[in-house]
Structure 1
């Protein structure tokens, strides 16, 4: 969000925090510095809303992605690689090696994107093994501790923790818990920071695990001119199976953003080469779901949000020169759940597992050393909908059966012609549901944690709140939204919260309010404790973002919200409703509200 928050605000200062799962596991012993240097470096690049078909290596002539294509030619490409139908579930699966449904990740916003506090991540595994760990980009698995990247194994974090951001040019970003102003186009900026991290680790002689989760081509559809100009008037030759549903500006912007990603991937590869570490660095590239719009995707059915092939099939390439065979194509099914065991296997490090993982190491397939690979099922789910894929078949969430070899476009339901196969996959789906949801689907809200561990400051954005009365959200997409139309003393904003560490907290609101509406008294309360303050300083900036959009957006525009110190409140340990309401409203409204910060001062 552009100019969202004044740079320098400490969001979460940690003093000696150790997660519960780290306490229960002994570090992997590395006998010497020389031995640690033998472990390969890891770079994992994750695109956001890029479909399988958004690469020229997969046959799309509408765009050119030479750097990702080169990764595939120099490494191993998986032809059938499966991820979640939407963003946060894929990230949870990659980070934990477990189906996202097991982790508590059920959605993309309002807290549903969080995995459970006791999940153990790939970053924690590599950090325990002596790696420097850094993440640069869209996190999307929770904002508050214990879900913040710095609490889940990453030494260095630069990006945003929400599901999407409202502006891509020099937005405010989170750097290890402190809000800072970004530098230029976000994908370029994230790459700059990742490369600086890599260079620092090379100088220190420490192996690194670098995670670069880009936020493009997710909307808003913003991209620098040099990339947009290639597509603004381009006549596209390849189209979706339903061409009448294509939205030309959105489609062209997405392709331009994909070419920008490819350019940045090339920058990372050049950096590895210039540092002399390309041969000792494993590079992974994949995406988090199907395309975020109707565009060419290899005649597959479905897009982002769908459990059909087009919604969950992702490009996947992995390169490790001299160790993995160049140009090798794997046709067996695999998925994001496999990356944790695969990368630890390739790196030669052991992994503590507080919970059983679902993934398997893909090393034998990559090395082409296992002629007989066992039959496997990979399950894709979105909330309570589930689809299952084998090497030959897909059973849809509606119970339809498709032969994906003879009918890759899922045009003919053969469930009646193949009753035994259908019955087998339906039973497997039922067994899987019973396994991941042994007590039924987890539709109970989990509280947002305040003061977890030694976290000094907790961030509670409008995204995670519920509005009551006539208060409106700036977009139907909560992630980067704010509240407005706060005009009645009966209206309120609430968070279901748990204070883990009781004590005195300073409450800071981020707001806008015109001069004519100053003077409202605002109260924050929790389990009988209250603090009140007045809105006495005008701040009424314009909305931003439209000038940079290449296509009409559905998410909120952004503006420059400023802090208002409400005062100090004693928060007792326990669970309840954290409530923000107005006691009086002398003007036409209270404020537009974006964020609440609770900073523990004792």
Structure 2
């Protein structure tokens, strides 16, 4: 039976054929489709631009882009990475997509969501994704499964090294040489130089930690008197600026500049305390400083004005409907888009959507209804576990004056709005989808440690279980990790484990009540990869992990639990990084 998402994409493609007609349409002088280029940065705050008043940071290319674009000064995203990315791709609030946080599969976007790539791909666009994904590691929740023909980058929430590291090309892991943001820009430039129309999504991994940057950039900001952390952050942003300049130059040289819709933004507020234009809060906060980011849009052939600045607000959920309107593609009502086209705002038609509210939710490790926020053109309500605040953003953008006591009726009204919204967008639940087997064009399915349920004394090496973490504190058989998967059809798999052990041991792999025992005869040692950190990292180190085959198993269709544990008491230290399932 054909699934709902595939049926919808077929319908989109059929509608494209009807609208475009035969090949005679080109002969009759139909306008070419515009290209689409989205550039997204990671943890770059509103204040991390020279054009936003930052006196220390040098961003000439981005400042120049602002002058030839329309800027929305009040543009909002989510407080952290993965939710913003899900909303940007789908035009829907992240909680509708299943994405609620940044790790433990809470970052995964449901595969049935229809993305910008799938929308444009159904209208004969080439689609390429370059950089950080962070909405699902396994097919069909990875970039290829969500509509991108080309992918080069990484699927986790962050990399552990930015120099000479492993990246993913399509489904293959490749070793790279150089600084990752430069490599991503190289690949994006190669993609946009080819035939039109294209949709290119360039998602830089910086200035997210770990704080690694080439020496020349770093020395420049140390010479300005900054501490090592902020010197590294500003150096990383200037490197982004340089690469944006390269991309803009490639657009011009390829003759595609006028016919390209270019959007630049960041995914959340700054990852630390630094200049942010007087805004309250940083990454992880529902206040202005946590969710207000730079946003430029440029499309010369579409009549978007250069140098215009709007004080109306827009949000990540508005990007898909805006692109759809600019490309002339109808968005089916069945997609239930939350966003609205930004064109009325960009064209300066007064207050485009009077009475519109934008909602923000944040998970602070454990899922709850709050922290949350409601924004309108004038007001902001923030809901925290021990505090409710109300601000007039037109008069007080820095949130210095809490007006909750002066406007109790408005506060109650906004709370009612928020509760109604939260109930609606969580109506399908927020439980992460299971890892899916049996439908991937790739032979390997990766089950990393942060996606496991852990029992006994097992814990994460880094404490939180961020991306790339591994499991430690294995003492005996009562300590285990469990990955739950769903197989769409029966299949045979080789199961292997990435681990490090000081002593020989026996590993037990349990599947459907049957246990497979593997004796590891000799110590296995993970080796740390040297890093180029500028400050002590909060992430775990990058390691090279030994891999041991545990069993060949037949997995029937349905839901299954793969459980791994020591078969006896553990001597010395044991660390487990991931299970790997290879289709046979």
Contact 1:89 1:113 in 2 (8 A): yes
Large movers: runs of 4+ above 6 Å: none
SS at match of 2:294: strand
Aligned with residue 545 of structure 2, among 542, 556, 561: 561
- The one-character-per-residue Cα deviations of 1:400-436 (angstroms, maximum 9, x if unpaired) are 1111122111121112212332232222112212221
Contact 2:104 2:465 in 1 (8 A): no
Q: Which structure 2 residues correspond to residues 82-481 of structure 1 after superposition, within 5 A?
A: 82-199=76-193, 201-202=194-195, 206-235=196-225, 248-322=227-301, 323-352=303-332, 354-369=334-349, 373-383=353-363, 384-385=369-370, 386-398=372-384, 399-438=388-427, 442=429, 444=431, 446-452=433-439, 456-475=443-462, 476-481=464-469
Alpha-carbon deviation of 1:122? 0.8
SS at match of 1:459: strand
Change (3 A) 1:428 1:522: same
For 1:195 and 1:20, the matched residues in 2 are separated by 35
Alpha-carbon deviation of 1:594? 1.6
For 2:571 and 2:408, the matched residues in 1 are separated by 67
- The one-character-per-residue Cα deviations of 1:501-560 (angstroms, maximum 9, x if unpaired) are 22211112223345xx2x322222221244333334655253235x41111211101111
For 1:357 and 1:274, the matched residues in 2 are separated by 36
SS at match of 1:525: strand
> Alignment length, in residue pairs?
563
For 1:18 and 1:182, the matched residues in 2 are separated by 39
For 2:4 and 2:353, the matched residues in 1 are separated by 37
| Match status 1:592 vs 2:566 | no
For 2:122 and 2:298, the matched residues in 1 are separated by 24
Provide the residue aligned with 2:518 in structure 1: 533
Alpha-carbon deviation of 1:364? 1.9
Contact 2:81 2:267 in 1 (8 A): yes
Alpha-carbon deviation of 1:444? 4.2
Contact 1:513 1:539 in 2 (8 A): yes
- The one-character-per-residue Cα deviations of 1:317-366 (angstroms, maximum 9, x if unpaired) are 01112421100111111000000000111122223454310000111221
Contact 1:480 1:556 in 2 (8 A): yes
Contact 1:19 1:146 in 2 (8 A): no
Alpha-carbon deviation of 1:472? 3.3
For 1:364 and 1:405, the matched residues in 2 are separated by 20
For 1:485 and 1:594, the matched residues in 2 are separated by 13
Provide the residue aligned with 2:500 in structure 1: 512
For 2:470 and 2:172, the matched residues in 1 are separated by 20
Change (3 A) 1:89 1:445: closer
For 2:216 and 2:170, the matched residues in 1 are separated by 31
SS at match of 1:342: helix
Change (3 A) 1:477 1:266: farther
Contact 2:156 2:467 in 1 (8 A): yes
SS at match of 2:335: coil
For 1:180 and 1:267, the matched residues in 2 are separated by 24
Q: Which moved more, 1:429-438 or 1:466-475?
A: 466-475
SS at match of 1:77: strand
SS at match of 1:195: helix
- The one-character-per-residue Cα deviations of 1:439-466 (angstroms, maximum 9, x if unpaired) are 7xx3545432233466543211112113
For 2:107 and 2:570, the matched residues in 1 are separated by 38
For 2:393 and 2:516, the matched residues in 1 are separated by 60
Q: Which moved more, 1:267-276 or 1:527-536?
A: 527-536
With a CA cutoff of 8 Å and minimum separation of 6, indicate the structure with the bigger relative contact order.
1
When normalised by structure 1's length, the TM-score is 0.89
For 1:37 and 1:494, the matched residues in 2 are separated by 54
For 2:564 and 2:38, the matched residues in 1 are separated by 41
SS at match of 1:231: helix
For 2:570 and 2:471, the matched residues in 1 are separated by 19
Change (3 A) 1:483 1:372: closer
- The one-character-per-residue Cα deviations of 1:169-188 (angstroms, maximum 9, x if unpaired) are 12111111111112311111
Q: Which moved more, 1:335-344 or 1:444-453?
A: 444-453
- The one-character-per-residue Cα deviations of 1:229-257 (angstroms, maximum 9, x if unpaired) are 11123235xxxxxxxxxxx3222211111
For 1:573 and 1:371, the matched residues in 2 are separated by 53
* Unmatched tracts of structure 1, length 5 or more: 1-16, 237-247
Contact 1:529 1:571 in 2 (8 A): no
For 1:421 and 1:587, the matched residues in 2 are separated by 62
Contact 2:527 2:545 in 1 (8 A): no
SS at match of 1:53: coil
Provide the residue aligned with 1:51 in structure 2: 45
When normalised by structure 2's length, the TM-score is 0.92
* Unmatched tracts of structure 2, length 5 or more: 364-368
Q: Which moved more, 1:35-44 or 1:281-290?
A: 35-44
Alpha-carbon deviation of 1:600? 2.2
Q: Which moved more, 1:19-28 or 1:88-97?
A: 19-28
Q: Which moved more, 1:553-562 or 1:283-292?
A: 553-562
Change (3 A) 1:118 1:305: same
Change (3 A) 1:377 1:349: same
SS at match of 1:339: helix
Alpha-carbon deviation of 1:585? 5.9
For 2:252 and 2:172, the matched residues in 1 are separated by 32
Alpha-carbon deviation of 1:57? 1.0
